[in-house]
A and B are shown apart, each in its own frame.
Chain A
Amino acid sequence: MTTHDEVDAVVVGVGAAGAVLVRKLTDAGWRVVGLDAGPHWDPQTDFLSDERAMSKLFWRDRRVTGGEDPIELAGNVTGKGVGGSTVHYSMYALRLHRSDFQTHTRDGVGSDWPLSYDDLEPYYDEVEHELGIAGPVDWPWDAPRRHRYPYRPHQLNGVGEVMARGCDALGITWRPGAIATLSAPKGDRPPCVYRGWCLSGCTTNAKSSTLVTYAKEAVRAGAEIRPDCMVHRVDTDATGRAIGVTYVRRSADGTVHEEQQRARVVIVSAYSIETPRLLLMSASSGHPDGLANSSGLVGKGLMIHGSDVVFGRFPEPVSQFKAPPPNTITQDFYETNSAHDFVRGYSIETVGPLPGKFAQLAASTLGLWGESLREFMYDYSHYAGLGLVGETQAQDSNGVRLSRDETDTFGLPIPVVTFSYAENDRRILEAGTDTQRRILEAAGAQTTFRVSDTAHLMGACRMGDDPATSVVDRNCRTWDVPGLYVCDGSVFVTSGASNPSLTIQAIAARTADQLIAAGRRDQL
């Protein structure tokens, strides 16, 4: 087995969070290695305008899904490769609201975060700048922003116009969304060309995935990013300190080798399924229940967003495939409102599936096939879809554990993911989809249909102030294992009703600063 010399930090998973950490730590003079289970793509040569072919961006290793409302895990729910899920995500770049950090205090549900909005605000500003987020001039929801978005909003696309018209008719506030694709050049990255292939990867680099932003800059700054390295164990020494990771590396010729990377600090950023899986797989005699799991909460409290989509058919073509699908948003229903039969709330956003995905949704929801599906698809450009981002509550019964009998190609136990909505989650879903339908009808939809869907994973290694009820502290340091950090979407305490990536990246940017400061004090 090859053992690589000790570096300052090894980051497992170079996705939304991992890439931010690798770059910021490298900039601070650390020697950093980023390991990612997937490839290091070059968008200009590796990406195609082909929906099917681009499923190569998805994490397609076997996973088992269960619970009353099983999450669709076989599709595009997470990404694999440098850039992680941001390579094919839909680019809404939103902040959580202030209330999201205190749902227990304010609404009596969930738990409060150990961080407040004010703690994250400078980091939201920072990552918005680094990514070049294009957003509206004013953000009418939550408390006012301190700074304007760095780039101006994109124009409305067809679906956005529909949503805006419907909202105007109903008196709902809408805005062009805050989106992670450039509306004007930034460095060597060009502005978006509005072809709408964003969920299949972007060939122009306008999309601010971490692949073409943080990860690229990290490599330029001297970081080493090693693709095709599947980490399966965090190694600890006799004192219980994390000293590195062990991984299997797939070479170009298909052969597989096991290697070790030693590091002063190990940061796991593999997202809400693979992070708990890795910690659970790292069980040893000293940690029989998995690493960092004295609370028993590793793998528990997985959250998603209720993401049902309502499509409406319009007499005139809407061209839902044109321009990035993320376009227009309302957060009028975000906060707890005594007039509702639920607490917390939801956002509504435009979507715009490409024909393949749309056909798949229509086939499975409306039971169309063959001739009927073909007839239906002739109308593809007449449909506009609005998606929900419905808050869910963390429940310990939802989560990730290791399969006892099934293993993957490397012989590693595959993850078993369980999810069921809570009653409050369901009410949000019902209310939200009703609003989506009303907006479409107010805009002139002749018929509508609803597709159930889920998106975004959050939680499963939550942060907190108490080692008994959380896995990491407010700085993403595991309570149990010195030198081991968890920093990605899995540290979320509540889901909020905002797409999570920007918050994940803000937490990563903050964690990097904390690490740099701790390193100076020699307290890593």
Chain B
Amino acid sequence: MFMKRSRRRLGRATAFSGGWSPPMRRLRTQLAVITTASTALLWLDNLSEHYRGGFERELMYVPILANPVVAAAGAVTAVTGGRRGGRLFGLLSAAQTAIAVVGFVEHQRGILKKPGGNQPRQLLFNAWYGPPVAAPLQYLGLGLMGVMATVPQSAAAPLLARIPVDRLMRAFTALNLPPLWAEIGYLHARGSFQNRAQWLPVVTLPLAGAMSALAATSDSRTARTAAQAASGWTALLGAAGTGFHLYGLHRRYGGYRRGSFLFNWLNGPPAPAPLQMIGLGLAGLAAERAVTRR
């Protein structure tokens, strides 16, 4: 029964799947899955941070409320392989990039508004304890990924004709890494690199970024290997980082004990934050798999 219906559905080309080759269809579904999962996890991080900031401004509710809607549309898209919800997910993802840009601007304004905001020497201090500088850009990245997962073939064709999708994704990765790197760098500096492992992303992400950027300019086998290594490493860093952050929570006073956990979760190393690197890395790897060259 189920099989029958799905076969019938498959036969009908939707705006989502229409015109795409099977590998590209698979890639788009994978992107939808990754984007949805990353968005949902970002919600947790976002909620923790904005709650910690006491929702001082009403604008701070916007991503918290918008995110689940985007994630829900993404989930439908992912589960149905794009047969349902694809267009809505695409539109919402586009809207999310706008929210991200507003958020980014507001975060900088928040930092500049703090006492001493007019003194360049106090900027770093204010950024440490103000709204995180680059965090909203994560929404920008995920919004763009949502768009990539849903854009109709006709719209994407001219671009893809010039740059194949794997190279496009390498460029996308390369663009995503610098803000991520900056954010990790200045926040790990706030923790004064008390654990040597805090240097790991700070030192290696620029390499991964450079490798992705270079690989984006070439179709060669080396370029592909480099891109795979960069993405794989980014995903690994994400996994390791999550582990370290969970361990970091345990090192705080009261650790995981009931009375202390919420406080430690809010003020300790953000446990869900490194997961974004897993998403980015996996998306890169998926794009490499989607393209076969001789």
Contact between B115 and A155, CB atoms less than 8 A apart: no
In this assembly, does A165 line the interface, its C-beta being within 8 Å of a C-beta of chain B?
yes
Residues in A172-203 with C-beta less than 8 Å from chain B: 174, 176, 183-186, 190-191, 193
Complex partner residue of A204 from B125, B189, B191, B253, CB under 8 angstroms:
B253
In this assembly, does B248 line the interface, its C-beta being within 8 Å of a C-beta of chain A?
yes
Return chain A residues, CB-CB under 8 Å to B125.
136-137, 153, 176
Contact between A152 and B189, CB atoms less than 8 A apart: yes
CB distance from B64 to the nearest CB of A (A): 23
Residues in B259-284 with C-beta less than 8 Å from chain A: 263, 267
Contact between B116 and A185, CB atoms less than 8 A apart: no
In this assembly, does B258 line the interface, its C-beta being within 8 Å of a C-beta of chain A?
no
A145-186 interface mask toward B, CB cutoff 8 Å, 1 = contact, 0 = none? Answer: 000001111011000010011011000001010000001111
Contact between B251 and A185, CB atoms less than 8 A apart: yes
Contact between B115 and A165, CB atoms less than 8 A apart: yes
CB distance from A509 to the nearest CB of B (A): 21
In this assembly, does B192 line the interface, its C-beta being within 8 Å of a C-beta of chain A?
yes
In this assembly, does A406 line the interface, its C-beta being within 8 Å of a C-beta of chain B?
no
Return chain B residues, CB-CB under 8 Å to A193.
252-254, 263, 267
In this assembly, does B159 line the interface, its C-beta being within 8 Å of a C-beta of chain A?
no
Given the complex of chains A and B, what is the CA–CA distance between A138 and B129 in angstroms? 17
Contact between A186 and B253, CB atoms less than 8 A apart: no
- Nearest-neighbor residue (CB-CB) of B118 within chain A: A168
Residues in B214-258 with C-beta less than 8 Å from chain A: 248, 251-254
Contact between B115 and A150, CB atoms less than 8 A apart: no
In this assembly, does B181 line the interface, its C-beta being within 8 Å of a C-beta of chain A?
no
Return chain A residues, CB-CB under 8 Å to B118.
168
In this assembly, does B194 line the interface, its C-beta being within 8 Å of a C-beta of chain A?
yes
Given the complex of chains A and B, what is the CA–CA distance between A190 and B252 in angstroms? 5
CB distance from B49 to the nearest CB of A (A): 14
In this assembly, does A502 line the interface, its C-beta being within 8 Å of a C-beta of chain B?
no
- Nearest-neighbor residue (CB-CB) of A163 within chain B: B115
In this assembly, does B109 line the interface, its C-beta being within 8 Å of a C-beta of chain A?
no
In this assembly, does A206 line the interface, its C-beta being within 8 Å of a C-beta of chain B?
yes
Residues in B118-137 with C-beta less than 8 Å from chain A: 118, 121, 124-125, 128-129
Given the complex of chains A and B, what is the CA–CA distance between A184 and B188 in angstroms? 10
Return chain B residues, CB-CB under 8 Å to A190.
251-253
Residues in B193-215 with C-beta less than 8 Å from chain A: 194-195
Contact between A137 and B124, CB atoms less than 8 A apart: yes
Contact between A152 and B253, CB atoms less than 8 A apart: no
- Nearest-neighbor residue (CB-CB) of B193 within chain A: A184
Contact between B194 and A156, CB atoms less than 8 A apart: no
Contact between B115 and A184, CB atoms less than 8 A apart: no
Contact between A152 and B128, CB atoms less than 8 A apart: yes
Given the complex of chains A and B, what is the CA–CA distance between A164 and B252 in angstroms? 29
A-B contact pairs, 7 of them (CB 8 A): A150-B192, A151-B192, A152-B189, A168-B115, A183-B191, A184-B190, A184-B191
The 3 closest A-B pairs by CB, nearest first: A164-B115, A155-B129, A190-B253
Which B residues lie at the A interface, using CB under 8 A?
115-116, 118, 121, 124-125, 128-129, 189-192, 194-195, 248, 251-254, 263, 267
Q: Can you name 18 extra interface pairs (CB under 8 A) apart from A184-B190, A191-B253?
A: A150-B192, A151-B194, A152-B192, A153-B128, A155-B128, A165-B115, A168-B115, A168-B118, A174-B116, A183-B191, A183-B192, A184-B194, A185-B195, A190-B251, A191-B252, A193-B253, A193-B254, A193-B263
